[in-house]
Structure 1
Amino acid sequence: MPLDLWPLSPPGRLIHEDRDLVAIDKPPFVPTHAPERSDDVHRRLTAYYEAMQPGAPVYLGVHQRLERDTSGVLVFTRRREANRSIAEQIERRRARRTYVALVRGTPGMLGRGKGPDKGVLRHRLAPGDGGHRVLPPSARAGQVSTVNFRVLERRGDRTLLALTPEPGCPVDLPAQLGAEQAPIVGDVARGGDPAPRLALHLEELVLDHPEGGRPLTLRAPIPVFFSDFLEGKEGLSDVDALERRLREAAERRAWIARLPGTDAFRLANAAGDGLPGVTVDRYGDFLVVSLYDEDAEAARERILDAAFRLGPTGIYLKIRPKHASRIVDAREPQFAPKDPVRGAPAPDPMVVHELGLPYEVRLGDGLSTGIFLDQRENRRRVREMASGLSVANLFAYTCPFTVAAAAGGARRTVSVDVSRGALDWARRNLDRIGVDPAAHALVEADAIKWLEKSATKEGPFDLVLLDPPSFATTKQTRFSAESDYKKLAASVLRVLAPGGRLLACTNHKGISRAKFKRVLQDAARDAGRGAAQVKEWPDPEDFPPEPGAEAHLKTVLVTLERG
């Protein structure tokens, strides 16, 4: 297929291979070996060898680890006979390591000077939360870390460093450089410049080969991200840099691309992927590019050119309103051209798949396509919990949540939306999975009024799905999530059965995660219902937030007491 961005072994990632060892250039965001993930480096490399040598046994020994957000040289053993030598060198830190890091300032910088061109970092490290903490200079506890550094390049207040720990020393470069007031770009928690990734890369690893002991030097080239950021190309002015960021974002989504029966997801998420004001969604072999601010609109042609280099069959464009409260005609050509702006048109309608379930989408039909891709993991969880339940889906739109619940074995569903067109679309979605229409009612109504007048007669429900728009106006009601969500949630909680659950979502930027949780706790009290649990659900991984900010989607599951 044309949009094939996820080969098992991306070109250029394999940097050394012999009968004892294999080394790759690990991309950022991919863990070395994580049993809870289906696409860590170990599994990806195993799948590569299984595909290259069908039926042959594959062995990959894990001795070296790189943190998830760090890129660079990562080596595995291919034979058990090589384990002892490599384990001894890695675990005792005998192998020589050279990292590159992009930082603000320079270690040892005094006053307004530019700092030394080389030097030594000496710290005492003690175990800390998720890594190490740097102890005060007078401390006697901890382990001594000695790291030699030299400046490779300076641009303004940004500096590219090479850092080589002394053999045998522990190291935690983000903590150590943060303590030196030279935080790594992307390490926002320690004062580093916001960036879509941590600017830390293991450029070179030198070890003795397990066969014969000869020195082996493994090198991973410095990612272009470092020079782009150093030269100020983190904006939207350079097509080549935009293409690189899109491909890096695509690589970050490789594990999603390999989910069974899934061909629709967020490919690049604005500043979270180094593309401020720009999102790119994949629908099969097509892309939908959305622009959210004036800078993105000014760079429109460059962004589209870069996206088209990825190889989609076609690209559709959406110009999003700058404020969520602004109501625009979603089908106006100036906001959502009906025809693709690059390449060939998509089928209309088109069917995409998510975790094996089919959903109808229309890429040229206004600002919305028929499915909100950020709810994939929530739909998966609903599908897993729905068996035998009575489910209500409010503000149901085209009913992707209802499809997930029905596929999971929900006993009955009631889906409420004010749009007859959306509900007709929903019926087609439900028909595709072959469920009994009589068990899955579609109600054309204002969801707020339906709760007031009809929900009690239809209920009680075991599970209610509540994902209202941030702002909505109908002939009968006006709704603002910031001021009205608590009252709406209380109305929902009153129609839940004992032990029932409310899955509540909002993407209102003015409502923080902590505030949203409080709103739902207060709603339970107002409804006179005891909450056994009010639990936040994790953010979708293909929607990384702007560095230092919260994710836009907040999800909380409220479970009522059974008594």
Structure 2
Amino acid sequence: MPLDLWPLSPPGRLIHEDRDLVAINKPAFLPTHAPERSDDAHRRLVAHYEAKTPGGPVYLGVHQRLERDASGVLVFTRRREANRSIAEQIERRRARRTYVALVRGTPGLPGRGKGPDRGVLRHRLAPGDGGHRVLPPSADEGQLSTVLFRVLDRHGDRTLLALMPEPGCPVDLPAQLGAEQAPIVGDVARGGEPAPRLALHLEELVLDPPGGGRPLTLRAPLPVFFSDFLEGKGGLSDVDAIERRLREAAERRAGIARLPDTDAFRLVNAAGDGLPGVTVDRYGDFLVVSLYDEDAEAARERLLDAAFRLGPTGIYLKIRPKHASRIVDAREPQFAPKDPVRGAPAPEPMVVHELGLPYEVRLGDGLSTGIFLDQRENRRRVREMSAGLSVANLFAYTCPFTVAAAAGGARRTVSVDVSRGALEWARRNLDRIGADAAAHVLVEADAIKWLEKSAAKEGPFDLVILDPPSFATTKQTRFSAESDYKKLAASAIRVLAPGGRLLACTNHKGIPRAKFKRVLADAARGAGRGAAQVKEWPEPEDFPPEPGSEAHLKTVLVTLER
């Protein structure tokens, strides 16, 4: 049975539909309407109606904006004739709204669990970066916002609030509750408690129907996350709760699941998706579950049972070392069982696709599968920039970056890795796209020594891809990203042509983003080359970081002066 977690209209999301309006219960992390992104609520709903009535015209008017990280009622018009009425109600804030927020403490009483059961928030708001600034009480400028609040529940110092803005008032609840020193859970920037999502939900929206008649009340049930977090149910003790988190994370990946010819990506990224110590990756109709700490290992059977409810053909298990520097035999059964722990075995080898390109994977062959899924967007960018270039791919492994460069029209590539088995695998990957073996050369060598002794004769290169492991030991060298990355990057920069580019990556937790940029800028200076630009590339959407932390993958593109 195919792994199909992404129906066009997920069960329970459609909460109202008539000839004038459609309303959904928008999940967190989904933008309302973002043409620059691959996924948004408007696009999903259009696809739903196109599937229902193939060839028929689909019109959805956007009037209401609900914050990307919030959830709740989101309404669209289905006929242009309904636009004027709905636009007037939404834009003039006449529609009555009830939000639910989970905060620490109570507004006006910072850090305390007790306080008034109801009250009023009054603030003056002025436009600010990405939202509003809350002005001092004595300010004459800005617009007055009045919000009634009522306590729904308390648990320790956590409080569940209902918030009702008065009609006609502007509102920015994250900013306003932050100003009250009762920040919303998940709003880390304003001091909120770290959480896998922003605990803000538009529970009710009351509108006058465009055709007249009694007011229309649209309600979106409160996500279970709110009660779970309020009561501290964040553990892995319940199979149903684990399944719920898995499905919520899967829904968050809907935009990636619908990318063209893409069936390999991360489904769950540990604490970033509310399941600390656990990752789940999709490979076609199979899942790979990885456990990173003792709590996750203790919940192993519950996690596997919950994952199997999603409908994969089979599940493979990986027990990851607790520290990146710890050396393990990756093929030992206690770390990576060769056979699936649930369901049927995967083909050996298996071919998955990423944006149309085929990659061979082996799900039961040690801790690594043959492709690092967190590099999908970087491979896409390499493919887009490689036409006519000479490319060196260092620490190439099975050469997914080289496949992307060759598919993008690279004139020649040189891929270097110390493992003969990985390079044989790489050749099969390149053969699948018909790459010319004479133009796309594979070199079995220590990449550090190759840079020192051979790269100058092979270069100069227009693009060097540098993605070393955090720690590596070969017969000739030892490498630690934290202490040795600058020297390695300088060696790579020296073999670049004028105007050439270094794509540098690291997963090392001890190298934060800002430091990584400095290391690479210093490496360019140390190599005697001027850097025209040192630019960060964003992390992929399916690898959200732990709340309050940086993403694990840091990517920087260094472009040299011409």
Q: TM-score range by the shorter chain?
A: over 0.9
Q: Is the 8 A contact 1:338 1:366 kept in 2?
A: yes
Deviates more, 1:369-378 or 1:183-192: 183-192
What is the CA distance between 1:102 and its match in structure 2? Answer: 0.8
Runs (5+) with no aligned partner, structure 2 = none
- In 2, the alpha carbon distance for the partners of 1:108 and 1:449 equals 62
SS in 1 for 2:216: strand
Task: Note the alpha carbon deviations across 1:376-432, whole angstroms, 9 max, x for none.
Answer: 000000000001111100000000000000000001110000000000000000000
Distance 1:360 1:321 in 2: 24
Distance 1:214 1:82 in 2: 16
Q: CA deviation at 1:348?
A: 1.0
Indicate conservation of the 8 Å contact 1:98/1:164, yes or no: yes
- After superposition, the C-alpha distances for 1:310-329 in whole angstroms (9 at most, x for unaligned) are 11111111111001111100
2:424 aligned counterpart, secondary structure:
helix
SS at match of 2:438: helix
Deviation at 1:106, TM superposition (A): 1.2
**SS in structure 2 opposite 1:438?**
coil
Secondary structure at 2:261 match in 1: coil
Counterpart check, 1:57 vs 2:40: no
User: Shift of the alpha carbon at 1:112?
Assistant: 4.9
Distance 1:443 1:128 in 2: 53
Give distance in 2, aligned partners of 1:412 and 1:296. 45
Counterpart of 1:168 in structure 2 is 168
CA-to-aligned-CA distance 1:89-130 (integer Å, 9 cap, x gap): 000000000000111111133785601111111111111111
Quick one: distance in 1 between partners of 2:119 and 2:301? 46
SS in 1 for 2:225: helix
* 1:353-376 CA distance string (max 9 Å, x none): 000000000000000000000000
- Identify the range of structure 1 (366-375 vs 112-121) with the bigger mean alpha-carbon deviation: 112-121
| Native 8 Å contact 1:512 1:550 kept in 2 | yes
Counterpart-to-counterpart distance in 2, 1:304 and 1:113: 37
Counterpart Cα distance in 2 of 1:9 and 1:315: 26
Residues 112, 550 of structure 1: alpha-carbon distance in 2 compared, 3 angstrom cutoff: closer
CA change 1:110–1:346 in 2 (3 A) is closer
The Cα of 1:133 is off from its aligned counterpart by 1.3
Q: Structure 1: how far apart are the matches of 2:110 and 2:543?
A: 40
Higher mean displacement: 524-533 or 112-121: 112-121
CA distance in 2, matches of 1:4, 1:50: 19
Cα pair 1:109 1:116 within 8 Å, conserved: no
Match of 1:284 in 2: 284
Q: 2:500 aligned with 1:500, yes or no?
A: yes
Residues 97/382 of structure 1: CA separation in 2 closer, same or farther (3 Å cut):
same
Q: Describe the superposition over 1:175-205 as per-residue Cα deviations: whole angstroms up to 9, x where unpaired.
A: 1111111111111111111110001000000
Kindly tell me: are residues 49 and 113 of structure 1, through their superposed partners in 2, closer, same or farther at Cα, counting changes over 3 Å?
closer
The answer to whether the 8 Å contact 2:123/2:137 transfers is yes
Cα distance, 1:80–1:482 mapped onto 2, change above 3 Å: same
Once residues 468 and 435 of structure 1 are traced to their aligned partners in structure 2, the CA distance between those partners, rounded to angstroms, is 24
Q: Do the aligned partners of 2:186 and 2:547 also contact (CA within 8 Å) in 1?
A: yes
8 Å CA contact 1:187, 1:198 repeated in 2:
yes
Give SS of 2:353's match: strand
Partner residue, 2:358: 358
- Separation in 1 of the partners of 2:112 and 2:465? 56
1:449-498 Cα shifts (integer Å, max 9, x gaps) = 11111101111111110000000000000000000000000101111111
Q: CA RMSD in A?
A: 0.9
C-alpha distance in structure 2 between counterparts of 1:38 and 1:266, whole Å: 16
Asked whether the 8 Å contact 2:105–2:113 carries over to 1, the reply is no
Q: Residue 286 of structure 2 contacts residue 312 of structure 2 at CA under 8 Å; is this kept in 1?
A: yes
Cα distance in structure 1, aligned partners of 2:436 and 2:7: 40
Contact 2:111 2:182 in 1 (8 A): no
Alignment check: 8 A CA contact 1:531 1:560 kept? yes
Aligned partners of 2:62 and 2:76 also within 8 Å:
yes
SS at match of 1:456: helix
For 1:38 and 1:379, locate their aligned partners in 2 and report how far apart those are by CA, in whole Å. Answer: 17
The Cα shift of 1:39 comes to 1.5
Name whichever of 227-236 and 330-339 sits farther off: 227-236
**Is the 2:113–2:159 Cα contact (8 Å) retained in structure 1?**
no
- Structure 1 contact 398–426 (Cα < 8 Å) conserved: yes
SS at match of 2:486: helix
Alpha-carbon deviations, 1:208-264, whole Å to 9, x = none?
A: 000024210000000011111112111212211111111111111100000000000
Q: How many Å separate the matches in 2 of 1:54 and 1:369?
A: 39
8 Å Cα contact 1:108/1:116 also seen in 2: no
Partner Cα distance (1:360, 1:42) in 2: 35
Contact 2:178–2:191 (8 Å) recurs in 1: yes
Q: Which residue number corresponds to residue 442 of structure 1? A: 442
Judge conservation of contact 2:110–2:180 (CA < 8 Å) in 1.
no
CA contact (8 A) 2:490 2:526 kept: yes
Partners in 2 of 1:392 and 1:533 — Cα distance?
A: 20
Taking a change above 3 Å as real, the CA distance of residues 456 and 176 of structure 1, as seen in their structure-2 partners, is same
3-state SS of 1:437 partner: coil
Cα distance in 2 between the residues matched to 1:288 and 1:521: 37
Gaps of 5+ in 1: none
Q: Distance in 2 between matches of 1:107 and 1:491?
A: 56
- Any idea what the Cα deviations from partners look like across 1:294-333, whole Å, max 9, x if unmatched? 1111111111111111111111111110011111000011
SS at match of 2:381: helix
Conserved? CA contact 1:96–1:165, under 8 Å? yes
Distance 1:145 1:334, change over 3 A: same
The answer on whether the counterparts of 2:117 and 2:150 sit within 8 Å (CA) in structure 1 is yes
Whether the aligned pair in 1 keeps the contact of 2:106 and 2:112 (CA below 8 Å) is: no
| Identity between Structure 1 and Structure 2 (%) | 92
Between the aligned partners of 2:65 and 2:232, the Cα distance in structure 1 is 31
Aligned to 2:348, the other structure's residue is in SS state coil
Q: Deviations over 1:41-71 (max 9, x none)?
A: 1111011101100111111000001010010
Change in CA separation of 1:475 and 1:47 when aligned onto 2, cut-off 3 Å = same
Do the aligned residues in 2 keep the contact of 1:279 with 1:290 (CA within 8 Å)? yes
Secondary structure of 2:301's match? helix
CA shift in 2, pair 1:53/1:113, >3 Å: closer
Which residue of 1 is the match for residue 342 of structure 2? Answer: 342
Deviations, residues 519-548 of structure 1 (Å, cap 9, x unaligned): 011101111011111111111111000111
**CA distance 1:414–1:203, shift in 2 (3 Å):** same
User: Residues 99 and 204 of structure 2 are in contact (CA less than 8 Å); yes or no, is this contact kept in structure 1?
Assistant: yes
1:269-313 CA deviation, whole Å, 9 max, x = no partner? 011000111110000010001111111111111111111111111
Cα distance change, pair 531–111 in 1 and its aligned pair in 2 (3 A):
closer
Aligned-pair CA distance for 1:341: 0.8
Q: Shift of residue 159 of structure 1?
A: 1.1
Which stretches of structure 1, 4 residues or longer, exceed 3 Å deviation after superposition?
110-113
Which residue in the other structure is 1:512 paired with?
512
Q: Distance in 1 between matches of 2:38 and 2:504?
A: 28
Equivalent in the alignment of 2:147: 147
Q: Which residue of 2 aligns with 1:262?
A: 262
CA distance in 2: counterparts of 1:363 and 1:462, whole angstroms: 34
- Once residues 441 and 111 of structure 2 are traced to their aligned partners in structure 1, the CA distance between those partners, rounded to angstroms, is 70
